[in-house]
Structure 1
Amino acid sequence: MKTADNSKMDQDFFEYLPSEIVVNILSRLPTRAAAVCKCVCKPWLGLLATPEFVNSHISRPVPGIVVETRSRSYDVIEFVDELGLHFDDEHRAIVAFNFELPFDVPMHSSANGLIFLSGVDRDDLIQCNPITRDYIKLPSPRQTTSKDQLAVENFGFGVSKMTGQYKVVRLFGEKPLHEEYRIECQVYNVGTGSWRKVPSGSIDSSLKLYKDVRGVLLDGNLHWMVDKTTNFSCRWVLRFDLQTELFSVFSAPPPIGINFLFGRSLCFFRDCLGLSDFSDDRSILIWFLVEDKGIWDKDFIREFGRRDHYNYVWPIRAFENGDVFMESDFGNLLYYSNKSKTFDYNVVVREDRDTYTPTTMYASSFLSLKSFVMENVSSF
């Protein structure tokens, strides 16, 4: 039988633990459970807002995706293990949590739980965290450039591995008279409140950006697919180091078949920079960049069956059993079973969407935008 003193000891158990141990325990909880802990008591409410907890939670990310299911409404699906998604009885992915945003702006990308949104006309550039429910609107980067002067404009968002500085990168080309545009660059350091020009003179003037492509973040570097006007038979990859803010260029894998100008897109896949491709028999191929060799290793090409319902695919995640989760150009989320060699098209229900919004890789965090100085932070 428990005595009154023992009962009180059970109730006050966490009071006798050092705060670093409590942080270690709570940071291992699923996002929804950790968020509920804020309501337990004031000490925990304060504890979950400390840099110690935020950084500890970020160091143990649960990878997943955020999918727009209806206008302004999003589902977060987490990958529960290395054997595939967690399905219900109807073979649909189980939603970890969902949220709604007060603005109708397409998601672009995310890093450490912060989501970057970019409007169709690039008028609205927003950063938000659906867990802490705060957001900021970035100032317009076009202080000296009008819309009609722009030939192309792309964005990327990421965080430096060395300094932890979050940055939005804008690549753009203006329309000069009687000549081709050159790629230029602006960077917005979150917390500074302003854009700044970054030298891009090292970029070959023959390189051209694609419209409406997103910078792919990997190991503190952003990557874009680009073309060379002097050689359209092979696309190239433009890399921007978020720490040094220097550019470099390397070639994409050699084209396979006659479809080399279509369907090629960069992605983050199996912890590598990946590229989806099609062969002449309309099979889906995935290339992996071997960083230490600086080459695209053909040993890592995987074939995922014939494509017959889509024109483009973007692989999202591969699992140890050979299954692959991917997205098509129509916004369908596909799950390929390596065992049955078939696709499941009923993974996530996306309805009432006026336009296709790409799926965004996402891992939640409790990093509040209020921790960044010089930013006008709002709540929703």
Structure 2
Amino acid sequence: MRSRRQGKDRKTSSLDTGQHSSLPLPIDLMMDIFSRLSLKSTAICRCVSKPWSFLLGRSDFRDLRLTRSQARPRLLFVFVEGNKVFFLSSPQPQSPDHEMSVEADHHMSFSFDHPVKDVSTSVNGFVCVRISCNRLVNGRKFMVEESVMCNPSTGQSFTIPRMKTRKRAGIVHILGYDPVEKLHKVLGMISHRYGRTMEHQVLTLGGTERATTWRMTECGVPCKSSLQRQNICVNGVFYYIETVTDGSGDHVIVCFDVGSEKYSFVKPPKRKLYHQLLDCNGKLALVPMGRIYYFNSETVKMWVLEDPERQEWSKRVYRLPPMWGDVVDPQEWLVIVGVTGPNEFVMSSTYSADPFQVYYCNIDKETVTRVVIQGVGGLRNGRGYSIHTYLNHVEDVKLMEL
């Protein structure tokens, strides 16, 4: 009798509330099992019963699921066609040493009322989609930008609330993530006359009171804004390139710490930057914007920010392995989409094709490995359609509330 009662007490105490005591196993064990399921299976399990739905909505389950996903990051493929965005992902090979093929899962597609202008990189599982639309105000037509947050893992999407301003145009949003507090934040900037960014505000996304409140923050140095701004979030810091307003046309790299919400600035290695921003193993890296690599390309040039406080840069010039021209298809036009390890690049095309391929180029081992992504080319085929490839995508099952 005593052992039965103790077993019953252990079963009940493992749950947050008595109404969910019908779970057949201890809650820690069930969370461990569920965290290993695919997204599709997890979504189905939510609909099985109220106790399962309660369990899969717990914050500690979401954290466990996210931790497992971070240990096995994925490649995210974002396909843009007019007013629609399609999301697919596949396992991300870790330094493959032979040609291989992986299957891409079709996550979600989102449709908007207006054309898609830009799609951000994956920021801890979420993506920011920028769309443009016309609005009539007092009989006048304004071209305005709207930003929509999308979670390919859950299918959730929501429009970022309007900033506290009378301006209707020239608003820029940048998405970032604070790894310490585990919060997504949006940095909003408003472009005034002559393109100067005069107002900077921050919005915290989540289920708290602060979620719907924009807060003012000071940039410190006026810059000219660009709606086509290159930006990236690396280890909790925004980086983006701006033009200083001293008439020289020189560039500066603006750094915004997502956690402290403080600005700093880094002097770039060149006065004028036309470069793409990359995450190079936790460091900011610059590669020439629009640089296309063919089967007969020979070198890759990159600047890496070694020490942000001392503003120290290192210039790296990598010679592609001799086997490069034998592995890469002569019809391929490749761009660098990321860095996966010491001296290892990942390259892919910016247009859909069947088959769709990514290339791992390891400078140390002098190897070039082709990885065929099954299912991407079959979605859309033709050089009229653009596709973005992002590394280190994680599956976050958190549902945000605004």
Work out which of the residue numbers 240, 243, 254 in structure 2 matches 1:238. Answer: 254
Please say which of residues 359-368 and 62-71 is displaced more in the overlay.
62-71
In structure 1, the partner of 2:66 is 58
CA contact (8 A) 2:79 2:386 kept: no
The equivalent of 2:156 in structure 1 is 134
- Counting only pairs closer than 5 Å after superposition, residues 1-380 of structure 1 correspond to structure 2 as 17-38=25-46, 42-60=50-68, 61=70, 62-69=72-79, 71=81, 72=84, 73-83=86-96, 87-88=100-101, 93-103=102-112, 105=116, 106-120=118-132, 123-141=145-163, 143-147=165-169, 150=170, 153-175=171-193, 181-191=196-206, 192=210, 194=212, 196-203=214-221, 205=222, 207-230=223-246, 235-254=251-270, 261-262=273-274, 264-277=275-288, 283-291=299-307, 294-298=310-314, 302-304=318-320, 313-319=335-341, 323-327=344-348, 334-338=358-362, 349=377, 351=381, 356=386, 358-361=388-391, 362-369=393-400, 372=401, 375=402
Residue identity matched to 1:52 = D
Give the CA deviation at 1:56. Answer: 1.4
Tell me by how many angstroms 1:300 deviates. 5.7
Q: Name the counterpart of 1:6.
A: none
How far residue 329 of structure 1 moved from its aligned partner, in angstroms, is 6.2
Shift of 1:222: 1.1
**In structure 1, C-alpha distance between the alignment counterparts of 2:128 and 2:203, rounded to whole Å:** 12
Decide whether the 8 Å contact of 1:124 with 1:137 is kept in 2.
yes
Instruction: Return the letter of the residue paired with 1:65.
Output: L
Q: Is the CA contact 1:159–1:220 (under 8 Å) kept in the aligned structure 2?
A: yes
Q: Distance in 2 between matches of 1:124 and 1:133?
A: 19
Residue deviations 1:8-29 (CA, integer Å, cap 9, x gap): xxxxxx9664312332343244
Name the aligned partner's letter for residue 23 of structure 1: M
* Amino acid across the alignment from 1:269: C
- Matched to 1:351, the amino acid is N
Task: Check the 8 A contact 1:304/1:336 in 2, yes or no.
Answer: no
SS in 1 for 2:51: helix
Matches of 2:310 and 2:280, distance apart in 1: 17
Find the counterpart in structure 1 of residue 13 from structure 2. Answer: none
Q: Cα 1:135–1:69, aligned 2, differ >3 Å: closer, same or farther?
A: closer
Distance (whole Å) between structure 1 residues aligned to residue 333 and residue 273 of structure 2: 12
The number of aligned residues is 338
- Paired with 1:112 and 1:340, the residues of 2 have a C-alpha distance of 31
How many angstroms apart in 2 are the aligned matches of 1:29 and 1:80? 19
Q: Tell me what 1:5 maps to.
A: none
SS in 2 for 1:59: helix
- What is the letter of the counterpart of residue 114 of structure 1? F
Deviation at 1:202, TM superposition (A): 1.3
Query: Larger relative CO (CA 8 A, sep 6+): 1 or 2?
Result: 1
Gaps of 5+ in 2: 1-21, 134-143, 292-296
TM (normalized to structure 2)? 0.68
SS of the residue corresponding to residue 52 of structure 2 reads helix
CA distance in 2, matches of 1:84, 1:107: 31
1: CA distance, partners of 2:383 / 2:47: 34
**2-side partners of 1:324 and 1:38: how far apart?**
39
Give the structure-1-normalised TM-score. Answer: 0.71
Q: Which has the higher strand share?
A: 2
Distance 1:163 1:23, change over 3 A: same
SS of 1:139's equivalent in the other structure is coil
Matched position secondary structure for 1:123: strand
Provide the secondary structure at the position in 2 that maps to 1:23. helix
State the SS of the aligned residue for 2:53: helix
Distance change (3 Å), C-alpha of 1:221 and 1:194: same
Equivalent-residue separation in structure 1 for 2:384 and 2:214 (angstroms): 35
Which of 345-354 and 73-82 deviates more? 345-354
- For residue 54 of structure 1, report the CA deviation from its aligned partner: 0.5
Q: After the TM superposition, which of the residue ranges 359-368 and 102-111 deviates more from structure 2?
A: 102-111
24 and 231 in structure 1: CA distance in 2 versus 1, 3 angstrom threshold: farther
- Tell me which residue corresponds to 1:8: none
Q: Secondary structure in 1 aligned to 2:30?
A: helix
Residues 276 and 313, structure 1, Cα contact 8 Å, conserved in 2: no
Cα gap change, 1:353 to 1:18, in 2 (>3 Å): farther
Whether the 8 Å CA contact 1:156–1:214 is kept in 2: the answer is no
Which stretch has the larger CA shift, 331-340 or 42-51?
331-340
Structure 1 counterpart of 2:91, which letter? E
Identity across matched positions, percent:
18
Instruction: Check whether the contact 2:176–2:184 (CA below 8 A) recurs between aligned residues.
Output: yes
Secondary structure of 2:153's aligned partner = coil
Q: From the superposition, tell whether residues 76 and 294 of structure 1 become closer, same or farther in structure 2 (CA, over 3 Å).
A: farther
What whole-Å deviation, never above 9, does each CA across 1:182-235 have from its counterpart, x for those lacking one? Answer: 4431222224564535233512x3x33344124311222211012335586864
Aligned residues: CA RMSD: 4.1
